[in-house]
C-alpha cells in the first residue's frame, strides 16, 4: 500500500512524496521516446529528475529509489486525480510482464522485459498525442521536441514555475486559428497541413475523441484517426497507445522492423501479446536502441 506525504519546501513549492509505489523507473519512462514535453532537470537534488508540462501543469518527478516518487508542484489531490494515472501507477506491470513472457516464450523478449523493467506507458493528453505524433513523422526526437516546444511557446498558455515560463499544449481550436501558414512557420514542413486537417476534424466533431476513447474495437479506433490527412497506421497506433491508453496498439517503426528482422527472423505474431502489445513494443524498442550504451537509471531491488 502506497504511503503519501505532502509537504512544502522553503521556496514555497508544494510537493508529494509517494513511497511503496509499484516499480517505476522515471529515467527509462521519460527517455524511451513516448513523450516530448519532459526533459531531465536538476532542481531539487534527486538522483533523477524530469520536468515538463502535462494537462496544463508544470511538474517535476524526482526519484532516488525504484519504489518511491517525489512530485514537485503537486498536491495529494493532484496526484490522485492526475499523476497516478499519468504514470500508470494503477497498472500491475509485474502481471503484465509475466503475461508478455508467457505469451511469446522467447529469450530475446525476456531480455528486453528485464532491460526495460520500470518503463510505464504514460497516459498523455489525447489531442497532444495525436498532434505530437503527426509531427514525429520522418523526424528525430530532438527536432520533434523543438517543434513541439515552439508550438507551445507560440500558441500555448504561460505557466510560471520558480520564475521560469513554461507553456501548455495549445488546443486544436487555437491551432486551427493559426492556419497552415502559422503552423508551417514553426518549421513543421509538410506536416503543417496534416495538423490543420486534424484540428478541423476534431473541432468540427467529425472525429470525436471521447468516442474513440470508449470504442472497444481497436481497428475502428485506427480507422477513425486515419481519416486525418497524413495519419497512417503507425501514427494512429502511437496516438492510441500514448494518448488513449489503448495498450494493444503496437506501432511499427524502423527500430521495430529491425527487431523483427534481426531478432525474430522476419516474423513476429503481435496478436499473441493481446492487450499488452504496446508495452511489449516499448521493451523491444528500448532494448534494441539502448542496450549497448544506456545504463539502467535506478537499480533494481
Distance, CA of 265 to CA of 287 (rounded, Å):
17
3-state secondary structure of 51: strand
Residues 6 or more apart whose Cβ sits within 8 Å of residue 119: 25, 28, 29, 32, 279, 282, 283, 286
Block residue for cell numbers 535506478: 298
Give CA angle at 150 (141, 34), nearest 5°.
30
Q: Which 8-state DSSP code applies to residue 194?
A: H
Quote the pLDDT of residue 291.
80
pTM recorded for the entire structure: 0.94
As given in the structure block, the three cell numbers for residue 156 are 500555448
Quote the pLDDT of residue 245.
98
Give CA angle at 249 (132, 51), nearest 5°.
40
Comparing C-alpha atoms, which of 166, 142, 138, 150 is closest to residue 58?
A: 166
Distance, CA of 159 to CA of 121 (rounded, Å):
25
Ranges of each domain in the chain:
3-90, 126-243, 254-288
As given in the structure block, the three cell numbers for residue 11 are 521556496
Question: How many alpha carbons fall within 13 Å on the CB side of residue 52?
Answer: 21
Question: How many alpha carbons fall within 13 Å on the CB side of residue 78?
Answer: 20
The CA-atom distances, in angstroms, between 162 and each of 10, 18, 82 are: 12, 23, 21
Quote the pLDDT of residue 298.
38
Distance, CA of 262 to CA of 281 (rounded, Å):
15
Quote the pLDDT of residue 290.
84
Comparing C-alpha atoms, which of 160, 164, 133 is closest to residue 147?
A: 133
Comparing C-alpha atoms, which of 253, 263, 242 is closest to residue 140?
A: 253
Distance, CA of 117 to CA of 183 (rounded, Å):
38
Helix axes 191-203, 172-183, angle to 10 degrees: 150
* CATH superfamily label, 126-243: Hypothetical protein; domain 2 (1.10.340.30)
Distance, CA of 118 to CA of 297 (rounded, Å):
9
Distance, CA of 62 to CA of 15 (rounded, Å):
10
pLDDT in tens, the chain (301 residues): 899 999 999 999 999 999 999 999 999 999 999 999 999 999 999 999 999 999 999 999 999 999 999 999 999 999 999 999 999 999 999 999 999 999 999 999 999 999 999 999 999 999 999 999 999 999 999 999 999 999 999 999 999 999 999 999 999 999 999 999 999 999 999 999 999 999 999 999 999 999 999 999 999 999 999 999 999 999 999 999 999 999 999 999 999 999 999 999 999 999 999 999 999 999 999 999 888 444 433 332 2
Q: To which H or E segment does residue 209 belong? A: helix 209-214
Give the class (CATH, top level) of 3-90. Answer: alpha beta
Amino acid at each position: 500500500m502506497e504511503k503519501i506525504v505532502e509537504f512544502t519546501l522553503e521556496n514555497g513549492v508544494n510537493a508529494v512524496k509517494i513511497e511503496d509505489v509499484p516499480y517505476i523507473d522515471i529515467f527509462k519512462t521519460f527517455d524511451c521516446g513516448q513523450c516530448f514535453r519532459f526533459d531531465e532537470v536538476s532542481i531539487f537534488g534527486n538522483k533523477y529528475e524530469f520536468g515538463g508540462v502535462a494537462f496544463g501543469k508544470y511538474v517535476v518527478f524526482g526519484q532516488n529509489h525504484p519504489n518511491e516518487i517525489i512530485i514537485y508542484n503537486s498536491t495529494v489531490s493532484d496526484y490522485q486525480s492526475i499523476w497516478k494515472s499519468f504514470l500508470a501507477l494503477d497498472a500491475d506491470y509485474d502481471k503484465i510482464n509475466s503475461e508478455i513472457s508467457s505469451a511469446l516464450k522467447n529469450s530475446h523478449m525476456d531480455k528486453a522485459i528485464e532491460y526495460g523493467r520500470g518503463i510505464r506507458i504514460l497516459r498523455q493528453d489525447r489531442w497532444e498525442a495525436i498532434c505530437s505524433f503527426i509531427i514525429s513523422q520522418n523526424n528525430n526526437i530532438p527536432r520533434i521536441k523543438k517543434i513541439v516546444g515552439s508550438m507551445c511557446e507560440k500558441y500555448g498558455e504561460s505557466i510560471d514555475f520558480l520564475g521560469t515560463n513554461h507553456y501548455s499544449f495549445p488546443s486544436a481550436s487555437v491551432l486551427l486559428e493559426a492556419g497552415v501558414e502559422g503552423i508551417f512557420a514553426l518549421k513543421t514542413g509538410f506536416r503543417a497541413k496534416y495538423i490543420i486537417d486534424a484540428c478541423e476534424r476534431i473541432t468540427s466533431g467529425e472525429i470525436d475523441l471521447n468516442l474513440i476513447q470508449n470504442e472497444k474495437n481497436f481497428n475502428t479506433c485506427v480507422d477513425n484517426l486515419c481519416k486525418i490527412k497524413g495519419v497512417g497506421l503507425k501514427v494512429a497506433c502511437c496516438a492510441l497507445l500514448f494518448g488513449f491508453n489503448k495498450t494493444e496498439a503496437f506501432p511499427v517503426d524502423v527500430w521495430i522492423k529491425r527487431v523483427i528482422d534481426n531478432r525474430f527472423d522476419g516474423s513476429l505474431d503481435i496478436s499473441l501479446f493481446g492487450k499488452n502489445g504496446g508495452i511489449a513494443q516499448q521493451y523491444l524498442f528500448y532494448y534494441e536502441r539502448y542496450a549497448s550504451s544506456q545504463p539502467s537509471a535506478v537499480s533494481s531491488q
